[in-house]
Structure 1
Amino acid sequence: MEKSYDYLIAGGGIIGLTIARELKLRYPHLQIGILEKESGIAYHSSGRNSGVLHAGFYYTEDSLKARFTREGNQKMTAYCLHKGLKINQCGKLVVATNEEEVRGLEELKRRGDRNGVELQWMTEEQTSRIDPSVKTYKKALYSPSTSTVDPLEVCNAIYQEIVSLGVEVLFETAYKGKQDATILTNNGELRCHYFINAAGLYADRIAKDFNYGDDYTIIPFKGIYLKYAKNKEDVETNIYPVPNLANPFLGVHFTKTVDGTIKIGPTAIPALWRENYRGLENFKLKEFFSILYYEAKLFITNSFNFRRLAFEEIKKYYRPGFINLSLNMVKNIDRRGFGQFARPGIRAQLLNKKTLELVSDFVLEGDEQSMHVLNAVSPGFTCSFPFASYVVDEIEKKKQIPELNHQLKMKV
């Protein structure tokens, strides 16, 4: 039988889950469904990320990321504490290795001040009091509001909440296309008054069926973390280098997880298909040629120094070299103490096909019938609660169907 929903969402990651939650809290009587092609929620980026709740000082003040990261950190922290979820409120140190990187710290402090994010200057001595293993040049920045959570635990808590509110999640049900208000899936047809695309790695593909996202394509980057197996004491907080602010990656850093585990990473290795986790797993020939085409263009034009980025990232497959990148930030780490690589993740990074630039901010496109989250990369997990509210606000602005608007108001 053909089912019908007021809102139908593609994607059971953190963005799809929080949008469903926001809709249900605003409109408790509406029928809301989520399409998820996997057998469970948060199977891809949302369940494979570092779990860091960022503070919001990396981003320029006019960006959506700056707007949502600080608020998202506060809301996600409050949610975890309220629900009794694991959270490690250990903070973060951003360290420098030379005078140029000290100037980079100063730029981060300016951004943090403009974004209303607490950042504290630390001398080398003060830094050592927070974490005796940290090594920095002259000074460092301390972010007390940075913490880590278990991303799968958080997603499962939100999933349980929305199901209890009446949201229907259709597992192993993949979007296959559309015909007017009918959404085609591998498990039959579904009708919806409004469609929301939060499909992550495949968001650009789905958007094109609705005549959106023509300027963009997803370029996947593989992120890998290496666990420190010797102990859980050699590093006590998250330790980050000064990033290259010209690209959206933060560099290899130390993460202190909710259970105290230490890991370094991630990589940002250009992947050759969208779910290129291991070997030929999930290989799709059409994706391979499409992604290879754009990566070749980036290599030839050397847009945003792609050649250097690609070479540097591919070298991280060499384990000793990968470990060496982390050693500049610490004094007392046993290079032989590292164990296994963690489960890899894929970053769904949006590329502007016209300018050949990586899009660093959130991108949202839509109208009175559909809305498409084209770019929700890091710190999308941290931003998810306020970003979901923003998406629903934008949907309300776009909708031009008086009858349905009237129904929504009456049902609330």
Structure 2
Amino acid sequence: MVQFLAGAWALLLGILLLMLGNGMHGTLLGVRGEIEGFSTTEMSYVMSAYFVGFLGGSKLTPEMIRRVGHVRVFAALASFISACLILFPVVSNPWAWVAIRVVIGFCFSGVYVTAEGWLNNAASNETRGQALSFYMIVQMLGIIAAQGLLLLGDPSGFALFVIPSVLVSISFAPILLSVVPTPAFDQSKSMSFRNLWSLSPLGFVGIFLLGGMFAAQFGMAAVFGTEVGMSVREISMFVAAFYVGALVTQFPIGWLSDRMDRRVLIMLVSCASVFGGFAGSIYIENFTALLVSAFVLGGTVNPLYSLLLAHTHDFVEHDEMAGTSGSLLFVNGLGAIIGPIAIGWLMNRFGAVAYFGYMTALMAVLAAYAAYRMVKRPAKSIEDTSSFAALSPTSSPIALEVAQIAADESMESDNER
């Protein structure tokens, strides 16, 4: 592992800087949109636009890499991100922001595909699982730390938009100057939605619902904060609480996942998420209660993503894993695109409390559907299931596939001892 870190520290540092820039700009837009006088509906379209671009990037980047290579793709996309970030305060129009967010989402998706391919290539078979765990931790720490950067300036000014632009600009310097060789990129076999549904209805439905949940956390949390009158400091703490929860609970839930019927665990974790959302809607005027609610929601929703991936992979062969991962990412993206728009409409109609009401309803549906699936199909034996692989919803199909294979190999190695 020491050898891997010695060779990949520049790559991980670059990813950390990217996540600092991405995590900061997402929250900053929610605050600045209120200052600019944009409505909740307009901001919901702005937040949704990121996921439209993200979905497009995950589909088109592999072809771009095959044509011109990892280095050129990474440098070009990161440059576009840096340029777009400083356009937000210049163009004070919600529809211009929508267009910019589509471009940023596309570019970040492409950057993740490229960086995760490099990370996979830098790791050996023995260190791949640990490498991806480091990657996930770096991602989470980057987003959490980014919220503190919001306190360095006035959100109504220009400086806070310059900071993420600079962070993204310098992020690709350590990556492109490192000695990590560029990996080969192979075309993977696709998995149709019909086949995915027949293999795992719970995985299909759950991943779609979690797309809406992730959009609520990543995109609309700052918009909610401005609606209820939070200060910039309070908004940064509120958004960070989601990711702190995810960081704390991911591995304990993963440990349980490999030792029990995953559908039972999905139902129980979803119920805990319902409790967190319901508490937030009741105590919406209590900031401490909102922090606890955000911690619970983040600590359940993010592990559920990895849990549903592992559950779906229980029913596919290894050579189908790449196609399955790509299809799951697409389904998750559809949910993420719809999520902010749905939240914006609900908040306009019912007020800020609808933010938590929306998340509570989605998790209640997931809990009920998991219970329903338990009576439709018998549980697989623990020995026949794949291993839990901790992942972030921002991960590309490369990370989804490699993490699952690495986790399975690690489990097989432990069983042989």
TM-score, normalized by the shorter chain, greater than 0.5? no
TM-score (norm 2): 0.23
More helix by share: 2
More strand by share: 1
TM-score (norm 1): 0.23
Larger Rg, first or second structure (1 or 2): 1
